[in-house]
Structure 1
């Protein structure tokens, strides 16, 4: 983590060794944030996005797919009327009409479920790059770490947005519940237009568990990051990385040093992302005295800044953390 911490420290006079000691100090979250007051974090720079596109095409592809799915979910077609009719008057005709209505919607939900699995595959790669290559000599002069930080935040923003949409469309749960309830019977249909929407039972069960959570996409990101930290036996490096990214972003927001409103918004998004991931990975959580992220200062800075679908950043943070409520 040496070079990454040096990069984030900017023009501070402390050595990388003292920064590492500062991170290890469980009681020093306030001093940790102060250590990075001079860092300027211009996440809105287009070079950051270009870096990801050129050197991490899989991450860029997943991000673009996520944005396309958000647009589709935003146009979700409610099948409540057809489902209600099929339940109250369960004739073959009404059931067929309900399935024809909810079939495309269920196919979309399957796409989103598959996408969540793609995200679970990308998150460890991003964290691995940030943690294991932070000692590169040119880490402070390239767009690499900023690009990866932006990708991590963009993926989390996509997850936030999906979960907000999902919670605002009750028909998603209702349509899928009806789908599962009638799957065994409808799967025997000779109507190819209906049969093509049938999903294997094991996948249907997994989807049911996925959509049962109030924040399924964020959970996919969090679970993936937590498992990576556990499997790599390098939990401390991951937490140090998240702390450093949060500190650099906090300094920019606090001192209004972003080069554009877009950069400032990205810094707020990085702050929220790092806090959420840290909260689930660290046994003590992000709001504890042992945390190296100063959530009190962060709450003071993000305030009611809008982050996702006109939802204040603080509300997004509290809704997705384990220990902050």
Structure 2
């Protein structure tokens, strides 16, 4: 394994912990230890598919013209032609939905692994670097998926048309080549429709499954919250420490996305969010870090994510200083 990055979380750090401790991370070269290997291999299968999902989503091309043609000229021939064009797209959209269930399956396994309260979160991060990196990659995937989805309104247009036809004409009116049970197609369509109705469907999946994990074992709630907070602090220190030099520019961008994704996740699952004074995340320091990035590193989309996908920003407990700092250009 390559040289480890030594990261000292000092008391003068903008997001430091109360006490000094060392965290060692190497996201560019880390390899799983023997104790991590079984879970690592399982998660890696999901992450490999995640890359394909993002590629398909990024290149998604809607059936707008075909749908308009069917609306203008609802002949049997035109409807059949539109349906033929639509089904391959619906197959992809269903795949994305089913993949979200795979994310929901592996995240609790990761949390269960890294949220063992026998050692401190900082030592846990150091001991399970490969699993922590995979969790970070899932957060990065969630962030990218929802960003691409919001940039592609054709997704909801295509699926809404597909679902309307199923409901109007009946599940067996057209061949779908999606499921042997035509009734199942309609049931699944209803679930998929709810999934895409969310502005950030993968984030909703991640926050729901994380909240469910915390509710399952109350003993680990405080530890899990501290673990997520510690991950935020590690990201901050790696990004703000001049001695930390990433070999790849993408690693720096990756850390920025993970930082923002963690903050959003924390705001969703913490009882009072991350913007309250009692939060152990210095949100002002995090916002300033994003705004002080070099000009060639565009962070406006990350700031927008904090502005519009967190849940507690507009609470009365959020100071005007934080709101102004985040909302100003």
TM range (shorter): 0.7 to 0.9
Deviation at 1:135, TM superposition (A): 2.0
Supply the distance in 2 between the matched residues of 1:138 and 1:284 (Cα, whole angstroms).
23
Deviation at 1:236, TM superposition (A): 1.1
Supply the distance in 2 between the matched residues of 1:308 and 1:52 (Cα, whole angstroms).
34
Q: What stretches of structure 1 of length at least 5 have no aligned partner? A: 1-7, 15-28
Show the counterpart of 2:209.
224
Deviation at 1:40, TM superposition (A): 5.3
Matched, 1:159 2:172: no
Supply the distance in 2 between the matched residues of 1:252 and 1:49 (Cα, whole angstroms).
22
Show the counterpart of 2:163.
180
Q: Contact 1:304 / 1:313 at 8 angstroms: preserved in 2?
A: no
Deviation at 1:148, TM superposition (A): 2.2
Q: Contact 1:124 / 1:228 at 8 angstroms: preserved in 2?
A: yes
* Number of residue pairs matched by the alignment: 304
1:242 to 209, 223, 228: 228
Deviation at 1:164, TM superposition (A): 1.4
Q: Give the SS at the match of 1:285.
A: coil
Which piece of structure 1 moves more, 94-103 or 178-187?
A: 178-187
Q: Contact 2:178 / 2:185 at 8 angstroms: preserved in 1?
A: no
Matched, 1:284 2:245: no
Deviation at 1:10, TM superposition (A): 4.7
Q: Give the SS at the match of 1:290.
A: coil
Q: Contact 1:307 / 1:313 at 8 angstroms: preserved in 2?
A: no
1:60-99 equivalence runs, <5 A: 60-99=44-83
Deviation at 1:96, TM superposition (A): 0.8
| C-alpha distance 72-290 of structure 1, shift in aligned 2 (>3 A) | same
Q: Contact 1:159 / 1:218 at 8 angstroms: preserved in 2?
A: yes
1:308-319 equivalence runs, <5 A: 312-319=301-308
Matched, 1:102 2:86: yes
Matched, 1:273 2:261: yes
| C-alpha distance 298-179 of structure 1, shift in aligned 2 (>3 A) | same
Deviation at 1:309, TM superposition (A): 9.4
Q: When you count helix as a share of all residues, which structure comes out higher?
A: 1
1:4-43 equivalence runs, <5 A: 10=8, 32-33=16-17, 35=19, 39=23, 41-43=25-27
Q: Give the SS at the match of 1:132.
A: coil
TM-score (norm 2): 0.79
Q: What stretches of structure 2 of length at least 5 have no aligned partner? A: 1-5, 315-329
| C-alpha distance 72-136 of structure 1, shift in aligned 2 (>3 A) | same
Structure with more contact order per residue of length (Cα contacts < 8 Å, sep ≥ 6):
1
Deviation at 1:228, TM superposition (A): 0.8
Deviation at 1:207, TM superposition (A): 0.8
2:244 to 258, 275, 299: 258
Q: Contact 1:287 / 1:323 at 8 angstroms: preserved in 2?
A: yes
Show the counterpart of 1:202.
187
Supply the distance in 2 between the matched residues of 1:158 and 1:121 (Cα, whole angstroms).
15
- Give per-residue Cα distances to partners, 1:254-281, cap 9 Å, x unaligned: 2233241454444333322321121111
Q: Give the SS at the match of 2:31.
A: helix
